[in-house]
Amino acid sequence: GRHNDPSRLCGFDYQGLRFSQDSLHVFAGLCAVDNRKHVGEMMSALQANGLRCTRMGAYKPRTNPYAFQGHGAVCLPWVFEQAGKHDIAVVAMEVTHEQHIDEIQQALTESGNACGVILQIGTRNTQNFELLKAIGRQPHFPALLKRGFGITLNESLNAAEYLASEGNNRVIFCLRGMKSEFGNPHRNMVDFAQVPTVKRLTRMPVCIDPSHSVGSRDLAPDGIMEVCHATAQGVTAGANMILVDFHPKPEQALVDGPQALQLHELDRFLKDVEIAREAY
């Protein structure tokens, strides 16, 4: 039996795209939106590579209160305007407060374009039950739930069930590594061996976030970035979505620059994903 047999969490269609345990979508983009120019350059590169999905961080949950907290609602018009211009169908965007959902809804309406949003719930909010219920109740957007980095898989799967219990069955479950002293020098202990486990226990599409798992552009002895090795491992294991940080100028990024891949590496990244997918 599955984790929760009566669960209504399952594959779904959104913005003309299928999200299921059989599909594969790449959400490459900015960990944090810094300026309009970089949003445009990022989306232009996506369009040139035939991608219609992206990640864009507006509301950033930061460890240090004095660190850049994200531009919030201010940058939403930049994101949706550029999405319209570059034929982006879906933007994955983290929200940390119920109010952000309304801000996104309003900015989308004002932008007048047809782009969609998947509401991301960060690893620090996996058990923020009121936020989960709010995202469960709203009828507009699917959700991308990050597993909690310090709780059991079962606890994270129950968090997904909070979304369904309030009516949102459109949930993608994201593996992003576990906090561990033993995982060093990776930022988190990569957990992509659990892609098939989550697929066995639930009907949700499973995402991997190699950027926040590995946390750097470090090269393995074969000259390939470890973040790319981790991606290939996740895709070979059957991942249905990849959330990955890119930036036009990683050295200028306001959040997580050391783990962002460069735009000229996107083409190679996608080819490697294709090879890994064939191996699955």
Task: List residues near ligand PEP by CB under 6 A.
Answer: 31, 57, 94, 122-123, 146, 176, 209, 212
What minimum distance in Å lies between the beta carbon of 157 and ligand PEP?
Answer: 16
CB of 188 to ligand PEP, least distance (A): 8
DSSP-derived 3-state class of residue 150:
coil
Output phi, psi for 15, to 5 deg. 55, 35
Residue-by-residue DSSP string for 51-111:
--EEEE-SS---SSTTS----GGGGHHHHHHHHHHTT--EEEEE-SSHHHHHHHHHHHHHH
Token couple for 109: 């309406």
| Cα–Cα distance for residue pair 25/17, rounded to 1 Å | 9
Least distance CB 144 / ligand PEP (angstroms) = 9
Q: Cis peptide before 205, with omega less than 30 degrees from 0?
A: no
Supply the minimum distance, in Å, between the C-beta of residue 6 and ligand PEP.
Answer: 28
Q: Which of 7, 120 has the CB closer to ligand PEP?
A: 120
Q: What is the smallest separation between the CB atom of 93 and ligand PEP, expressed in angstroms?
A: 9
Instruction: Considering the complex, state which of residue 184 and residue 278 has its C-beta at the smaller distance from ligand PEP.
Output: 184
Burial class (CB in 10 A: 0-12, 13-18, 19+), 209: buried
Q: Which is nearer to ligand PEP, 7 or 125 (CB)?
A: 125
E-assigned strand segments in the chain? 12-14, 17-19, 25-30, 53-56, 90-94, 116-121, 143-146, 171-175, 206-208, 241-247, 261-262
State the minimum distance, in angstroms, from the CB of residue 5 to ligand PEP. 28
C-beta closer to ligand PEP: residue 31 or 225:
31
CA-based diameter of the chain, in Å? 49
Q: Output 1 or 185, the one with its CB closest to ligand PEP.
A: 185
Residue closer to ligand PEP by CB (options 95, 107) is 95
Q: Give 214 or 223: the residue with its C-beta nearer to ligand PEP.
A: 214
User: Whole-number minimum distance, CB 86 to ligand PEP, in Å?
Assistant: 21
Closest CA to 93 of 71, 112, 64: 71
HSE-up of residue 165 (Cα within 13 Å, Cβ side)? 12
Shorter beta-carbon distance to ligand PEP: residue 191 or 209: 209
C-beta of residue 242 within 8 angstroms of C-beta of residue 19: no
Q: How far is the CB of 212 from ligand PEP (least distance, A)?
A: 4
